[in-house]
Amino acid sequence: MRRAGLLIVFGLLGLFLAGGRLQAERPAAPLLLPSQTLLMVRVTDAQVLRSRFAQTALGRMAADEQLRPLLLHLYGSAAEAFEQVEKEIGLSLTELLALPQGEVCLAMIKSDGGRPAPLLLVELGDQLPAAEKLLERGRELLAQQGVDRETEKAGDTTLNIYSNVGPRGRTLVQFLRDGVLVITPDRESARELLARWDGDGDDEVLANKDHYKTLMSRCQGAKEERPQATFYVDPIGLASAGGGLGAGAAFIPVLGLDGLLGVGGGLSMPEEDFDTVFHLHVLLDNPRAGVLELAALGAGPMEPEPWTPADARSYLTLHWKVDETYEALERLYDSILGDDALAGEIDRRLSQPLSVDVKKEVIDALEGRLIHVSWLEPPYRLNSAANLVAVQLNDAKAFRPVLEKLMENVPQDRVENRTFSGVDYYHIELPQPGRRRRAEREREENAGDAPERVRLEMRRPVGCVCILGDYLLWCDSEKLLEVAITSKSDPQRSLAQELDFKVILAKIKRQPGGAVPGMIWFNRPEKSMRLWYELAQAANTRTVLQQGSENNGFFRALDSALQDHPLPPFAVLEQYLAPTGSLLVNEETGIHYSGFSLKRKAP
Mean pLDDT by 10 residues, the chain (603 residues): 39 39 70 96 94 92 92 86 85 88 95 84 92 88 87 92 84 93 93 92 90 93 81 92 68 90 95 90 94 93 96 98 96 94 97 97 98 96 96 98 96 95 96 62 55 79 97 98 95 92 93 83 97 91 85 86 91 94 94 93 70
Residue 51 CA to residue 47 CA, distance in Å, equals: 6
CA 51 to chain CA mean position, Å: 23
Q: Is the pTM of this model over 0.85?
A: yes
Query: Has residue 277 been placed in a domain?
Result: no
Residue 219 CA to residue 262 CA, distance in Å, equals: 13
Query: Has residue 239 been placed in a domain?
Result: no
User: What does the DSSP 8-state code read for residue 351?
Assistant: I
Query: Has residue 218 been placed in a domain?
Result: no
**Is the peptide bond between 566 and the residue preceding it cis, with omega within 30 degrees of 0?**
no
CA nearest 70: which of 442, 533, 512, 480? 533
197 and 303 housed in the same domain: no
The pLDDT of residue 510 is 85
331 and 454 housed in the same domain: yes
Select from 187, 205, 223 the last residue of a domain.
205
32 and 156 housed in the same domain: yes
Select from 205, 228, 253 the last residue of a domain.
205
Q: Which helix (H) or strand (E) holds 108?
A: strand 104-109
452 and 575 housed in the same domain: yes
305 and 192 housed in the same domain: no
Helices (H), 149-233: 187-197, 210-217
191 and 311 housed in the same domain: no
Residue 558 CA to residue 182 CA, distance in Å, equals: 37
319 and 199 housed in the same domain: no
The pLDDT of residue 441 is 57
Query: Has residue 258 been placed in a domain?
Result: no
Structural domains counted in the chain: 2
Query: Has residue 250 been placed in a domain?
Result: no
441 and 302 housed in the same domain: yes
Query: Has residue 252 been placed in a domain?
Result: no
The pLDDT of residue 17 is 35
Q: Which long-range contacts (CB under 8 A, 24 or more apart) does 91-98 make?
A: 91/130, 91/133, 91/134, 95/130, 96/12, 96/15, 96/134, 97/15, 97/17, 97/18, 98/18, 98/127, 98/130
User: What does the DSSP 8-state code read for residue 423?
Assistant: E
Query: Has residue 339 been placed in a domain?
Result: yes
The pLDDT of residue 513 is 66
Select from 205, 223, 252 the last residue of a domain.
205
196 and 323 housed in the same domain: no
Query: Has residue 490 been placed in a domain?
Result: yes
The pLDDT of residue 332 is 94
Phi, psi of 425 (to 5 degrees): -150, 160
Give the range of the structural domain holding residue 454, as residue numbers without chain letter. 287-587
Using an 8 Å Cβ cutoff, are 309 and 483 in contact?
A: yes
